[in-house]
Every structure is written in structure tokens, then in C-alpha cells.
Amino acid sequence: MSQTTTEQNPAAQAQGTHHYILTLQRPIPGGGSGVATSSGTCNVPPGLTRHDVYTQLLANAVAADPQLAGAAVLFFDLQPNRL
């Protein structure tokens, strides 16, 4: 039986286990649309699903800017934060 150990440097550990990008689009009163993109890192505990992280990030975006409630998701990506 073999075992693989992955070590991250302290800076990578401080950044979070995953990197995400979330882009939302909403109508602007009077016409047109606004687009908001957020990106960053987060720690994803074992057992959480991609959908769990997506819904939490979406809720965080709406909490930060209530005008984004009901916005259309144009793009979402979540990847392990490593090369």
C-alpha cells in the first residue's frame, strides 16, 4: 500500500484550500445591466460539495450587495488552490 503526502507552504495554507470566481449580472433600473465579479480563496472542509460552496458564495455576494438578489449567474468556477 502506498501513501501520498502533500505539503503546502505556509502562504498557500493561509490563502485557503480552493480558489473561486463568481460573476453575476443584474438589470439596472432604467435599462441595461450591471455585472459583478468576485474572486478569492476559501477553505472547503471535507464533506462539503461544490453546490454547498456555490450557494454560500452566492449568499455572501448578496449579503455584501443586496442589489444582487435574483441576479443571473454568468460564471462560476471552483478549483483546488494548487498548481
What pLDDT score does 14 carry?
A: 82
pLDDT for 4-54, tens place per residue? 334 455 665 689 999 999 999 999 989 999 999 999 999 999 999 999 999
Q: What is the C-alpha separation between 63 and 58, in angstroms, rounded?
A: 9
Q: What is the reported pLDDT for 11?
A: 61
Look at residue 1 and tell me whether its pLDDT is greater than 60.
Answer: no
Q: Quick one: the chain helix, strand, coil %, rounded to 5?
A: 30, 35, 35
What's the pLDDT at 12? 56
